[in-house]
Amino acid sequence: MSLQMIWFVFTLGEKIIMRLCPTEEETVDLLNKVLNGNKLASEALAKVVHQDVVISDPALDAIEINIPQDTLGVWVDPIDSTYQYIKGSADIKSNQGIFPSGLQCVTILIGVYDIQTGVPLMGVINQPFVSQDLNTLRWKGQCYWGLSYMGTNIHSFLPPVSTRNSSETQSQVTQNPSSEAEYSHPFSAVISTSEKETIKAALSRVCGERIFRAAGAGYKSLCVVLGLVDIYIFSEDTTFKWDSCAAHAILRAMGGGMVDLKECLERNPNSGLDLPQLVYHVGNRGAAGVDQWANKGGLIAYRSKKQLETFLSLLLRHLAPVDAHT
């Protein structure tokens, strides 16, 4: 869908194409039709969309990089975790910094990919509801970004992961890749409440009690970006390219990535083949509608390739053979 054009069809059959017009006044007139003559709201919205936005970031200001725009595609999810946004719960308590539900799980996702290779190049995750001022009830948000292009890998300066103690916050495997013998459960993971029982059972043997449930694919991916968990794993085919592209690009910039779970489980670790990264330029064969853009094999988001390899070896060890090939 175009970022500059949306169409509305009203009950009488009238179709109005909503677009950013050359002048603010023209945009007001269009908005007025959609908003049933609410001129005050139309003027306020038109003023916002026509204003110049200047974004400055020290990391970006320090480099000069040119990417041909005609090689780029964009996936946008304007509101990920829509149910949590509609529900509007503001009083959910976190579990070691991870929110199982609530407004904190709502994200806005923008992912940019190479239209020839499908490789994610740039990602922006906006988390609009990070903390609330109890006096004014206003929310403060946070924006995260990453860019990985032609050997350039940069990302936003991330805030401290958590106020938890370091033994809980840091990945034990990242600190010491050979720590399996020292720690019985070296990994932490975030999962969906709808995850398959077989995956959850295997994860419990790999992660012990360090398994967290959370709403929103974008938020669960963000938990990996922020280092709150080591892994986000999902075995179903109900996430889509717009859910994963932004976080995938950021993780690439950090040295991680996002892979197809099914292909990982079927892959021979001794084959020397690259990990099956998700790609974003081609749809699923034989699928129609939104299903052609589903992540059909599930996914795993991770921060370190070495860490992922260790995790997969442990997961496969605890999965029944039938589950590893279905």
What's the 3-state SS for 235-249?
A: CCCCCEHHHHHHHHH
| Contact criterion met (CB below 8 Å) for 228 and 186 | no
Task: For the chain, list residues with pLDDT below 50.
Answer: 1-4, 6, 8-12, 158-182, 322-326
Structure tokens at 44: 């306020």
pTM recorded for the entire structure: 0.79
Q: Please give the class, per CATH, of domain 65-155+185-325.
A: alpha beta
CA 209 to chain CA centroid, nearest Å? 24
Element (H, E) at 259: strand 257-259
pLDDT in tens, 134-146: 999 999 999 999 9
Per-residue confidence (pLDDT) for residue 142, from 0 to 100? 94
Per-residue confidence (pLDDT) for residue 56, from 0 to 100? 74
Which residues, 6 or more positions from 315, have their beta carbon under 8 angstroms from its beta carbon? 202, 203, 206, 265
| Contact criterion met (CB below 8 Å) for 244 and 258 | yes
The residue type found at 232 is Y
Whether 323 has a binding-site annotation, put simply, is: no
Per-residue confidence (pLDDT) for residue 34, from 0 to 100? 78
Per-residue confidence (pLDDT) for residue 30, from 0 to 100? 85
Whether 61 has a binding-site annotation, put simply, is: no
Whether 274 has a binding-site annotation, put simply, is: no
Per-residue confidence (pLDDT) for residue 184, from 0 to 100? 60
Per-residue confidence (pLDDT) for residue 14, from 0 to 100? 58
Per-residue confidence (pLDDT) for residue 256, from 0 to 100? 96
Least Cα distance to 191 among 241, 230, 141 occurs for 230
Domains 8-50 and 65-155+185-325 share a fold: no
CATH of domain 8-50: 4.10.460.10
Whether 80 has a binding-site annotation, put simply, is: yes
DSSP label at residue 284: P
Question: Strand 299-302 relative to strand 15-19: parallel, antiparallel, unpaired?
Answer: unpaired
Q: How far apart are CA 216 and CA 33, in angstroms?
A: 33
Q: Give the 3-state secondary structure percentages of the chain, helix then strand then coil, rounded to 5.
A: 35, 25, 45
Per-residue confidence (pLDDT) for residue 174, from 0 to 100? 35
pLDDT in tens, 284-318: 999 999 999 999 999 999 999 999 999 999 999 88
CA distances from 22 to 4, 128, 250, 251, 266 (A): 12, 29, 34, 37, 53
| Contact criterion met (CB below 8 Å) for 252 and 230 | no
Locate the domains of the chain by residue range.
8-50, 65-155+185-325
